[in-house]
Amino acid sequence: MSFEKIVRDIKTLKIQGAEAIAKASVLALKDVIKKSRAATKYRLIDELKKTRKILITTRPTEPCMRNTLKYILTNLDVKDIISLKALLDERIKKALEHICKTRQTIAAIGSKKIKNGMTIFTHCHSSTVMSILKQAKKQGKRFQVHVTETRPLFQGRITATELAKARIPVTIFVDSAARIALKKADLFLFGADAITSEGKVINKIGTELFAEIAYKYDIPIFSCTDSWKYDPKTVYGIEEKIEKRAAREVWRNPPKNITISNLAFEKVKPELITGIISELGIYRPSMFIEIIKENYPWMF
């Protein structure tokens, strides 16, 4: 797929979910490197810096994409353009391997939380949560899923469709019926777009509201995520931005004088989160941050 098409598809949410966005950004970078006419390493590095800027602005709340690009594009100190291309090739391969291996590890760890007879509540569409549910199904476990529609763009329907295809019983609820859906649930699993230095998890709007309800009913709450979604710049007190999307997604032709709020994400307080399930294991949010620092020093 070309760089231009990937940028368009991320902006229009044809490519959605943090992990898919990170992977697509690597493929976009690969396309730019392949088509580049740069004759020197400096020219190519310049071109890639511009590419990175464009990619990052497609979805501002996506540190997984930022970290992945940082992993590939930091410290490119080599003798010439041939060595640079070889280094980039190797980093791209490793970044894609990380995404793939992480997915399998999280599925293995997370599926242990699912027991026979359980009802799992989820919100929006997280490919990470999906991998856990599908792994549990593969292990022969019998359970059902409650999912919210996720207005305004109905990502809950993607979740429901995928689960039905995998023959996992699924019920879809309108967002405002989440309390009813949660009351009968044993576990709340959701994805993550970003994790801050205070252990807050940013995910689709509605996630904190539903976490507050789950907490009230003593339902364990887990965020399921590749740890590269940690945002290192939040260490310096820089707030992770919350993406505001177009008003027309909520109401195409509204009457005059109506303000439309279309925040795409919200932060879930660490106190509400039982644990973060990542490729590094299952940890409370405060511990998770420590473990990231130990495992990925290059992020900082």
Min dist CB 51 to ligand RUB, Å, is 21
Min dist CB 20 to ligand RUB, Å, is 6
84 or 130: CB nearest ligand RUB: 130
State the distance between the two ends of the chain, measured CA to CA, in whole angstroms: 31
Would you tell me which residues interact with ligand RUB (CB under 6 A)?
Answer: 13, 16-20, 124-128, 155, 191-193, 203-204, 264
Min dist CB 153 to ligand RUB, Å, is 7
41 or 125: CB nearest ligand RUB: 125
85 or 245: CB nearest ligand RUB: 245
Min dist CB 26 to ligand RUB, Å, is 14
193 or 208: CB nearest ligand RUB: 193
Rounded to whole angstroms, the Cα distance separating 22 from 62 reads 8
Q: Active-site positions?
A: 124, 193
Rounded to whole angstroms, the Cα distance separating 37 from 40 reads 9
41 or 223: CB nearest ligand RUB: 223
Min dist CB 264 to ligand RUB, Å, is 5
